[in-house]
């Protein structure tokens, strides 16, 4: 695949900028990704639009393909015809606006009716210039009324008017998502629109906002996007806590993290920076996500009171027990000098402190210590696990002996 190379902030960025190359690549990719079978079922005057063209120009197309097509009219009828003919799953996304989705095994295709007298006007009403590019299936040419290809070349994000944001306020978050995923600069006018109309997000369904946040916190430049969210106070409208800044993101250094750890634990860390528990619930995050954020906040708040050096032995054990599965997310709250050692110990599954475990099961302790289910059993198990974590427990006999000692010293006495 031939590429033209340009520079953005002294970094090489590979994109297509020649119209002929783009057209050739569009036609090649349609066959390569195997969705040319629907073309004969599209009415005259249909256009490929939006993200597919954008990602092709940026060289970002992958095996998960989403296609957006604009037809002159009767999108629902056209979509139903294609779905029936080629056995795709048919979904009406918006009956009033005549928008449908057809899902095949390897591709998802959205079809919408043209809303303006001409495709040029239609494109100018789209969210950003980089998504306002169309390809005519009949004439084999590109329509780019807002110079979106040039903006892709410049890595620049802008909209044609504030109305484009107000038509669907979710576009405020989509702008930030493109910063996260594409590392684009944002036009000053667009920034001013976002500052002015950010509270319009309250009109958007929580599920749609959740989807954008999930994309934002997983982007390659997520830290830049999170800084914008903080700076513009995007989510002040939905949360009770206003000061969630736990750490200066400029100081984050993830060189010690491997790719798996970055992908799994950075998103949780970023989420902790921008949303409180109340807003997480309102925006339909899962109970698991909310529980993890609650634990990260709990231990981060203790770090505000004392340094990690000052944590007691019991606090260190409880920290590792509660945060074992998500510890890399918490490590980023610590001074950078801790990263390497803590990550190395967490990666070592035999490290008894970083992966607390029980030498004996509850049933065994009940039998040999002659105790029943209840608070005492739980406390004995916790005590023995802590002894094991700090290498003060070696074998079965020692565990039974220490368990008996603990019960003698701590169990309630009966007169």
What CA–CA distance (Å, rounded) separates 88 from 108? 9
Enter the CATH code of domain 1-154: 3.30.460.10
* Inter-helix orientation angle 287-305/313-323, to 10°: 160
Distance of CA 136 to the CA centre of its chain: 33
Residue 8 pLDDT greater than 90, yes or no? no
Q: Return the higher-pLDDT residue of 412 and 74.
A: 74
- What the block records as the tokens of 353 is 């402190």
Q: Where are the alpha helices (DSSP H) in 243-311?
A: 259-274, 277-282, 287-305
Complete DSSP assignment for 317-380: HHHHHHHGGGHHHHHTTS-GGGHHHHHHHHH-TT-TTTS---SS-HHHHHHHHT--SSHHHHHH
User: What's the predicted TM-score (pTM) here?
Assistant: 0.86
pLDDT at position 109 is: 96
What CA–CA distance (Å, rounded) separates 141 from 131? 16
Per residue in 229-242, pLDDT (tens digit) is: 999 999 988 887 66
Please state, for a pLDDT cut of 70, what percent of the chain lies above it: 94
Element (H, E) at 68: strand 65-71
Please state, for a pLDDT cut of 90, what percent of the chain lies above it: 76
Q: What is the mean pLDDT of the chain?
A: 90
Residue ranges covered by each domain of the chain: 1-154, 362-410
Residue 140 pLDDT greater than 80, yes or no? yes
Element (H, E) at 120: helix 119-124
Residue 307's alpha-carbon distances to 173, 310, 334, 367, in angstroms, are 36, 5, 9, 41
């Amino acid at each position: 695949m031939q590429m033209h190379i340009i520079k953005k902030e002294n970094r090489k960025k590979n994109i297509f900028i020649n119209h002929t190359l783009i057209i050739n690549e569009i036609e090649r990719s349609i066959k390569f990704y195997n969705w040319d079978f629907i073309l004969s079922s599209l009415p005259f005057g249909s256009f490929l639009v939006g993200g597919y063209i954008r990602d092709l120009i940026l060289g970002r197309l992958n095996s998960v393909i989403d296609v957006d097509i604009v037809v002159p009219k009767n999108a629902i009828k056209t979509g139903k015809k294609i779905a029936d003919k080629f056995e795709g799953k048919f979904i009406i996304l918006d009956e009033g606006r005549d928008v449908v989705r057809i899902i095949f095994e390897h591709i998802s295709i959205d079809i919408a009716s043209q809303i303006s007298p001409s495709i040029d006007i239609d494109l100018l009403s789209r969210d950003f210039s980089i998504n306002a590019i169309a390809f005519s299936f009949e004439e084999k040419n590109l329509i780019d009324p807002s110079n979106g290809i040039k903006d892709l070349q410049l890595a620049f994000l802008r909209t044609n008017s504030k109305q484009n944001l107000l038509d669907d306020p979710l576009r405020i978050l989509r702008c930030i998502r493109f910063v996260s995923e594409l590392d684009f600069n944002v036009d000053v006018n667009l920034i001013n629109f976002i500052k002015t109309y950010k509270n319009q997000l309250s009109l958007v369904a929580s599920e749609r906002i959740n989807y954008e946040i999930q994309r934002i916190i997983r982007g390659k430049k997520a830290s830049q996007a999170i800084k914008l969210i903080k700076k513009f106070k995007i989510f002040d409208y939905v949360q009770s806590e206003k000061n969630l800044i736990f750490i200066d993101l400029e100081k984050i250094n993830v060189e010690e993290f491997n790719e798996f750890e970055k992908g799994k634990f950075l998103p949780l860390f970023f989420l902790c920076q921008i949303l409180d528990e109340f807003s997480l619930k309102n925006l339909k995050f899962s109970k698991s996500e909310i529980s993890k954020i609650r634990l990260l906040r709990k231990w981060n708040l203790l770090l505000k009171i004392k340094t990690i050096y000052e944590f007691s032995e019991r606090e260190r054990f409880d920290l590792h027990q509660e945060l074992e599965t998500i510890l890399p997310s918490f490590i980023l709250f610590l001074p950078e000098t801790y990263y390497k050692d803590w990550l190395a110990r967490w990666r070592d599954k035999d490290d008894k402190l970083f992966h607390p475990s029980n030498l004996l099961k509850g049933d065994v302790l009940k039998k040999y210590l002659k105790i029943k289910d209840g608070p005492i059993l739980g406390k004995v198990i916790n005590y023995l696990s802590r002894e094991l974590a700090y290498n003060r427990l070696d074998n079965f006999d020692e565990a039974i002996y220490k368990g008996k000692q603990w019960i003698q010293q701590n169990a309630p006495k009966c007169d």
